[in-house]
Structures are given as structure tokens and as C-alpha cells.
Amino acid sequence: MNPPAGQVVDYLRLSVTDRCNYRCVYCMPPEGIPSIPHEDIFSYEDMGFFVGASAEMGITKVRVTGGEPLVRKGLADLISLIRAVPGIQGISLTTNGVLLPRFAEGLKAAGLDRVNISLDSLDPERYRFLTRGGSLEAALAGIEAALHHSLAPVKLNVVMMPDILSEIADFVALTRDRPLHVRFIEWMPVGGCGPRSAGESVTKAEVMKVLHGLNNRGSLAPEPVDPPLGWGPAHYFRFPGHQGTLGFIGSVSDHFCRECNRLRLTADGRLKNCLFSSAEVDVKGAVQARDRDAVLALIGESLEGKTFDKNVLPGRTNRGMSQVGG
């Protein structure tokens, strides 16, 4: 899928729900958000049809997101539908992990390849605070389930919020003896859920300074991004002898617009070509009418409007992370 600027767009993020069993501080307010009515949410058959159309235009990788995708019943059925689409080479899932012990085996059998698990702290109390009531023990059990069922690579997403610097060594330790890939992600100002001041955000440079200070680990070296690791914009590093890696996504301080290879479909049938942007293309009617030509035309319209210049981003979205499948 090649938009006018010439970049390849081959990666679809597919949101299956805006609901979540957590209320993470960087994602939504304490009271949560009004849920999209059930009748306005795409069915799995709708989503499978859209994936089939997008595959005709070059999409080869699909990431299933939410909200928390595992709170929607029968997710393995969707994975099976996607796996049956010609041209789809990889299927991944972003989750907080707490329901993986229940569903990992079935998801793997249905065709899921890999998972990203949110893990913003290794301190139980801080984890509970950041998720507004979540259980670190449950999240760690989800990681074990992912490893056990070979949903690899297992990536751990760590949003870089205040106080994270004190936990860097603990996250590094996770990569030593097992193939866990920790990715530090800058806190993104999406839907009013970003940092309120510069002092509340942590940058890649600050984390790298701590990493280089871990002298007992050896010299941190860049890790080539090959297909097993790299679907997106992360830059990876590895300490000598460690099975896992450390990655960075500089969403704010180092915009990756020029390398962006993705589109997003929200649970209510709106196609977004940029996480930050308010621009959306409504594909719901065409999908539910099973009008493939119209869907292909709407995908083309979205691609025509996709910018690869960080300096010309359109108006910023008011929808939060859980609403746009961030």
C-alpha cells in the first residue's frame, strides 16, 4: 500500500472495543469514558471483511487492540477470520495481559502470532496506582501465559511516566534470562490524556542515561531490527548476554512520521491515518453493505490524506487512547 509520498503502509491496527477493565492514568479519566453503544460497534464479520479489503491494498500485518481487546467475547473467532485472509502474514495483540492465562491457548490455536503487554511498573503499589486498581501479579501471570504458549516475541510496553527512572534496572533484569523485549514509550498527549507539563514526561535521553550508568551490565549496543522484532518505529538495544532487548518509541520528542507504516480502524468503523490526528474516514456504511469497491476507495482516500511530515499534522484528536486503538 503506497500513499502519494511513496512510503509503504502495510500495517493495520484494528480496535475491537473501546471498553477496558482498567482505567490507566494516561488513557482515560478515573470515571472512565462513555462506551460506544453495542449496535454501533463493528461485528467480527465486518472487521474480517475490512481486513480482506485492506489486504488487497497491501496490508500484511494486523494488530488487534482495544480498549482491552480480551474483554470482548469470542476474540479467537476474529483471529481465525483474519488468519484466513490471503496476504496477511502476521497477527498480533496489544493487551494489559490480565486475561491472557484464560485465553492464550485458544488465541494461539486460532492463529495469533505475538503479543504486546502493557507493564508500566514492577512495583505492585505503583502499578495499582497507574492502572487505578490493577494487579501486577495478574499482569505477570499474563506474561507467563504468553511465553508458555509461544506468542513470541513477547513485548512489554512501558509508558515513560514520572518515577519510572527508579525502576529501569528492574526492567533491564527482565531481559536477562528470558526473551522479553521491554519497550519504553513516551507519554503521548492524545485525547487530553497526555502530560500536563514538561516535568511530568520522561524522555528517551533520560532513560538512556540511566541505562548507560548500569556498568555491571556491560556496554549497551544497538540491536538490528529484523522481522521478528520490527513491525513499527521502535529502536532496540541489548546488553551483552541478555536474551531480551530494550526498545524506545519516541512518540513526542522524536516523531516517526517519516517511517509510519500504519492505518487504524476504530471499533465504530472509522479509519484513521494518524494517531494524533482528528481526521477520520467513515467506512462503516460501505463495510456493512459489503461494497468492496467503496471500501477500497475509502482506504485510498485515507491514504491520500496521510502525512509523513511531523510539521504539518492536521488538527489533534479529542478521542482518547481507548477510543482510537492507540
Percentage of the chain with pLDDT > 70? 83
- The single-letter code of the amino acid at 159 is V
Q: Which CATH superfamily is domain 11-324 in?
A: Aldolase class I (3.20.20.70)
Specify the pLDDT at position 232.
67
Which cell goes with 8? 509503504
3-state secondary structure of 81: helix
Top-confidence residue, 103 or 316: 103
Cell of 135: 494487579
Grid coordinates in use for 28? 482515560
Under the banding of pLDDT at 50, 70 and 90, the label for residue 58 is very high
Looking at per-residue pLDDT, the higher value among 44 and 316 belongs to 44
Question: Do the beta carbons of residue 74 and residue 64 sit within 8 Å?
Answer: no
Q: How confident is the model at residue 175 (pLDDT cuts 50, 70, 90)?
A: very high
Cα 252 to Cα 193: distance, rounded to the nearest angstrom: 14
Specify the 3-state DSSP secondary structure of 17: coil
Q: For 282-312, write each residue's pLDDT tens digit.
A: 999 999 999 999 999 999 999 888 765 555 5
Residue among 134, 116, 114, 118 nearest 126 (CA): 134
- Summarised one tens digit per residue, pLDDT across range 6-53 is 578 999 999 999 999 998 888 877 777 778 898 999 999 999 999 999
Across 21-25, 108-112, 195-199, least confident range: 195-199
pLDDT at 269: 97
Cα 104 to Cα 71: distance, rounded to the nearest angstrom: 13
- Cβ distance 281 to 298 under 8 Å? yes
